């Protein structure tokens, strides 16, 4: 079991107030808070080791390089990746997907090819493919989402054709909380000879990830959603794919040799890391991974499942509230996306904020999915390891107050 009281001591921000109320931070799917250990690692880098990597033949540069290498090794271990070289550091999930669309897509996707996505993708895993499809004359297809917010898996096999080059899907939906059957989808894609990309932005913070046993081709996520700093993303890819792909951005570090006429790219993964990387963030991400491994995914999951179950019970008591996504707690992660009848989600967000409760409101970068659900947007509460049962009750309190405030007199539409 998680010692949440102890954990909260590592997050000074959680003891601040908002509008005179204790902060109840339930916007973890957008970004998580950072423990002291991560902030200390950032400060330690700048106070003791700051230098650029690779280029310097001096002690500080060696230390900075060692910190970056250590972060890459730790990330590879975390993912069960075969080699540190299969881990490319980017700015975020979005950049990782753009890298694949640019460097793999431009080379291996041609006119008439198909890319299979799902209807629950974040814009990050949609727009780069739209851009590629437009450029190449390729076609995007989508695994539909059912009424209760799951992937229509029965439809999936029929959507993979001989032309399907890639199946790219989210492991967990940021808008609905749905957990998708990652190994099954990968197996299906592989059986038809398609490559796979897993958007693990909402997965890696909460569940163990094993790219070796999943055997996915690409997997992407962001450090900031798992207690790490902003400005650091990860692309895992199979080594042979990284070798076959062309560079993404051009500049320093990604080259081996440059002449007036051209350049020879650097070895993997540096070929994809042009310019000065976010060294401080990488060092701090190591601290975040350590923190997560000390907490343990089993305990984390048990805790989040209990919070989510209670939140769903509270919502079920409010006829004016609609919760989106699968009904069974086992089919969803720690995200509760909801609307209150007759109240705009932004008003819900503002009303909750006045109670100190931070939730997200809007389309969650999933506009087509919102269209599918026939809503303009939703409010979304999302949990992490430092949230408490009392905070779930505070969420319920904010819900009751907001629903009562906006309740229309009988007969008024
Ligand atoms: N995919 C999913 C499923 C996400 O939840 C997010 C962040 N909301 C992203 C991609 C994009 O992450 P980032 O903004 O860190 O690039």
78-105 pLDDT, tens digit each: 999 999 999 999 999 999 999 999 999 9
d(CA 200, ligand 1 centre) in Å: 9
**CA gap 145, 306 in Å, rounded:** 26
Name the β-bridge partners of 265: 255
d(CA 63, ligand 1 centre) in Å: 31
- Computed over every residue of the chain, the mean pLDDT equals 96
Question: What local confidence, expressed as pLDDT, does residue 409 receive?
Answer: 58
Q: Is the pLDDT of residue 374 over 90?
A: no
Q: What is the mean pLDDT of the segment spanning 302-327?
A: 95
d(CA 32, ligand 1 centre) in Å: 12
CA 95 to ligand 1: nearest atom: 16
> Does the beta carbon of 174 lie inside 6 Å of ligand 1?
yes
φ, ψ (nearest 5 deg) of residue 174: -75, -20
Q: Is the pLDDT of residue 361 over 90?
A: yes
Question: What local confidence, expressed as pLDDT, does residue 172 receive?
Answer: 98
> Does the beta carbon of 93 lie inside 6 Å of ligand 1?
yes
Q: What is the mean pLDDT of the segment spanning 268-282?
A: 97
Q: What is the mean pLDDT of the segment spanning 49-62?
A: 90
Query: Are both 4-28+297-405 and 38-293 of the same fold?
Result: no
CB within 8 Å of 378: residues ≥ 6 apart: 175, 324, 337, 338, 339, 345, 361, 362, 364, 370
- The residue to mutate among 101, 198, 201, 366, having the most atoms of ligand 1 within 8 angstroms of its beta carbon, is 201
Q: Is the pLDDT of residue 411 over 60?
A: no
Q: Residue 115 class from Cβ within 10 Å (0-12 exposed, 13-18 middle, 19+ buried)? A: buried
> Does the beta carbon of 92 lie inside 6 Å of ligand 1?
yes
CATH of domain 38-293: 3.40.640.10
CATH of domain 4-28+297-405: 3.90.1150.10
The DSSP H or E segment spanning 142 is: strand 139-143
Query: Computed from CA positions of residues 294, 296, 299, 301, in that sequence, does the dihedral angle turn out positive or negative?
Result: positive
d(CA 121, ligand 1 centre) in Å: 10
Question: What local confidence, expressed as pLDDT, does residue 408 receive?
Answer: 62
Q: Is the pLDDT of residue 56 over 90?
A: no
**CA gap 119, 121 in Å, rounded:** 6
Q: Whose CA is nearest to atom 7 of ligand 1?
A: 30
Question: What local confidence, expressed as pLDDT, does residue 410 receive?
Answer: 57
Q: How many other β-carbons are positioned within 10 Å of the β-carbon of residue 231?
A: 17
Tokens representing 63 are 């230390």
pTM: 0.97
Tokens representing 90 are 């980017």
Residues with catalytic annotation? 365
> Does the beta carbon of 382 lie inside 6 Å of ligand 1?
no
Q: How far is CA 370 from CA 26, 164, 240, 259, in A?
A: 21, 26, 37, 50
Is 220 in contact with 166 (CB distance < 8 Å)? no
**Beta strands at 321-324 and 335-340: parallel, antiparallel or unpaired:** antiparallel
Question: What local confidence, expressed as pLDDT, does residue 329 receive?
Answer: 77
Q: How far is CA 74 from CA 62, 71, 81, 105, 282, in A?
A: 18, 5, 10, 28, 10
* Packed helices 389-406 and 297-316: angle between N→C axes, nearest 10 degrees: 30
Q: Whose CA is nearest to atom 12 of ligand 1?
A: 93
Residue boundaries of the structural domains of the chain: 4-28+297-405, 38-293
**CA gap 360, 280 in Å, rounded:** 28
Q: How many other β-carbons are positioned within 10 Å of the β-carbon of residue 294?
A: 10
Question: What local confidence, expressed as pLDDT, does residue 412 receive?
Answer: 52
> Does the beta carbon of 28 lie inside 6 Å of ligand 1?
no
């Amino acid at each position: 079991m998680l010692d949440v009281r102890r954990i909260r001591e590592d997050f000074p921000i959680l003891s601040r107030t908002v509008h005179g109320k204790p902060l109840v931070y339930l916007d973890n799917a957008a970004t998580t808070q950072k423990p002291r250990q991560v902030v200390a690692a950032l400060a330690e880098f700048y106070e003791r080791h700051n230098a650029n990597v690779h280029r310097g033949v001096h002690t500080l540069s060696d230390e900075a390089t060692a910190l970056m290498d250590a972060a890459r090794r730790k990330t590879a271990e975390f993912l069960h990746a075969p080699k540190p070289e299969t881990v490319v550091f980017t700015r975020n999930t979005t950049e990782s997907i753009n890298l694949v669309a640019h460097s793999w897509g431009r080379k291996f996707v041609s006119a008439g090819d198909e890319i299979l996505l799902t209807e629950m993708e974040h814009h990050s895993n949609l727009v780069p493919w739209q851009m590629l499809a437009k450029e190449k004359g390729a076609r995007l297809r989508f695994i539909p989402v059912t009424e209760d917010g799951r992937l229509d898996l029965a439809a999936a096999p029929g959507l993979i054709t001989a032309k399907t080059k890639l199946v790219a899907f989210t492991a967990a939906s940021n808008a609905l909380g749905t957990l998708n059957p990652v190994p099954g989808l990968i197996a299906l894609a592989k059986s038809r000879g398609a490559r796979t990309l897993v958007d693990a932005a909402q997965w890696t913070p909460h569940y163990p990830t094993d790219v070796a046993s999943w055997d996915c081709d690409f997997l992407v996520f962001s450090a900031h959603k798992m207690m790490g700093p902003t400005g650091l993303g990860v692309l895992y890819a199979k080594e042979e794919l990284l070798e076959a792909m062309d560079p993404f951005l051009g500049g320093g570090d990604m080259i081996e040799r440059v002449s007036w006429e051209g350049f020879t790219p650097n070895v993997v993964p540096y070929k994809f890391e042009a310019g000065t990387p976010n060294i401080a963030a990488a060092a701090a991400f190591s601290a975040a991974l350590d923190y997560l491994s000390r907490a343990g995914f089993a305990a984390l999951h048990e805790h989040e499942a209990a919070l989510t179950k209670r939140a769903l019970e509270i919502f079920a008591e409010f006829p004016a509230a609609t919760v989106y996504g699968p009904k069974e707690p086992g089919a969803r992660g720690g995200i509760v996306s909801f609307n209150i009848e007759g109240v705009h989600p932004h008003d819900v967000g503002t009303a909750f904020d006045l109670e100190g409760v931070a939730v997200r409101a809007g389309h969650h970068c999933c506009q087509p999915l919102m269209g599918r659900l026939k809503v303009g947007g939703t409010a979304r509460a999302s949990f992490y390891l430092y949230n408490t049962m009392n905070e779930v009750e505070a969420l319920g309190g904010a819900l009751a107050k907001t629903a009562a405030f906006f309740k229309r007199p009988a007969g008024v539409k």
